[in-house]
Chain A
Amino acid sequence: MKKISGTELGLFTAVFCLAGAAVLTGRGLTGGGVLLCGLGLGYILQRSRFCMASAYTDLLVFKDGSLFRALLIFILVCSVGFFFVGLKTGREGFVVALGWRTVLGGLLFGCGMVLAGGCAAGTIMRLGEGYILFIPVLIGMIIGSVLGAYHYSFWSGVQHLDPVFLPRLMGWGAALFLQVFILILLWVIIKKWEKQ
C-alpha cells in the first residue's frame, strides 16, 4: 500500500470539512461557517504556536512578553470587529455577571492551565497535534465543567454585580476608545518592562 503523505492527509481533512459544511448548509443550517472558522482557528493556533497559558507563564517566569503582547493584539482586533458586529446587528457577545465567582474562577482556571500545560483552546489544538498528555486534560475539563454546571445555581446565588456592558455605561464610541487605549497602553508597558 502506498504511504499517504502529510499534504494529502491535510488536503483530505480540508475536503472533509468543506463537505461537512456543504451538507450543513444544504440542510439549511448555519453551522457550516462555524466548522470552517474552527478549522481555520485550529490551523492558525497550531502554526503560530499561540498559547494563552504560555502567554502568562512566559511573562511571569521568563519575562518574555512577546506572546502576551500578541494576546493583547488578538483582543484589540476582536474589540474593533465586535464593535462593528455589535453596531450592525445589535448583538452582545459574551456579557456575563461578575464578582467573587469571576475572581475564584480566574484563579482556578489560571492555576489549571499552567498545571495542564495549555488552556482550553490549546488542549483541543494539541490533541490535534497528537498529544497523549492532553487526553486526561480533556477528560478533566469535561468533568470539571459538568461539576461547575451542577454548582452553577449555588454560585449564581453568591453576591455579584450584574453584567457590566461598557457601551451601555458610556456609549459605543467611548467604550471602544477606552478599550483600545488601555490595550495599547498595556502593550507599551509590557514592552518597556521586558527591556529592563
Chain B
Amino acid sequence: MAEFYLDLVGYVCPVPLMETKKKFQELAAGDVLVIETEHPRAVRNIMDWAWNEGTDVDVDETANGRWKIVLKK
C-alpha cells in the first residue's frame, strides 16, 4: 500500500495519459497513484481510460485549471 506521485503539469496530449499508463503498470495491487495536471483534456483522457479499465478514480480541481487525479490499483 504505497502512494506514488506523478507531476504532469506543463505537458500536453498525448504525454499525460502515456506517462500515467506507464507508471500505473509498475504499481502493485492496492497502491495509489496521484497525478497532477493543468491540461483540461488530459483529465478527460485519463478518466476515460480509467473507466474503461474499471479502475477506481477520483478527480479534484485543486486550483483554477489545476487538477489532482487519484487512481487506485
Q: Do the two chains touch directly in the complex (Cβ atoms below 8 Å apart)?
A: yes
**A54 and B13 contact, CB distance less than 8 A:** yes
Residue of A51, A54, A61, A130 near B65 (CB, 8 A) is A130
Residue of B13, B40, B44, B52 near A53 (CB, 8 A) is B13
- Chain A: number of interface residues, binned into ranges: 10 to 19
- Name A's B-contacting residues (CB within 8 A): 6, 46, 49, 51, 53-54, 57-58, 61-62, 64, 66, 114, 117-118, 129-130, 133
Q: Which residues of B in the span 1-16 have a Cβ within 8 Å of any Cβ on A?
A: 12-14
Q: Which residues of B contact A57 (CB under 8 A)?
A: 13-14
Interface size on B, residues (CB 8 A): 15
Residue of B45, B49, B52 near A54 (CB, 8 A) is B45
Q: Which residues of B contact A130 (CB under 8 A)?
A: 65
**B52 and A64 contact, CB distance less than 8 A:** yes
Complex alpha-carbon distance, A53 and B39, angstroms? 14
Complex alpha-carbon distance, A133 and B39, angstroms? 12
**B14 and A49 contact, CB distance less than 8 A:** no
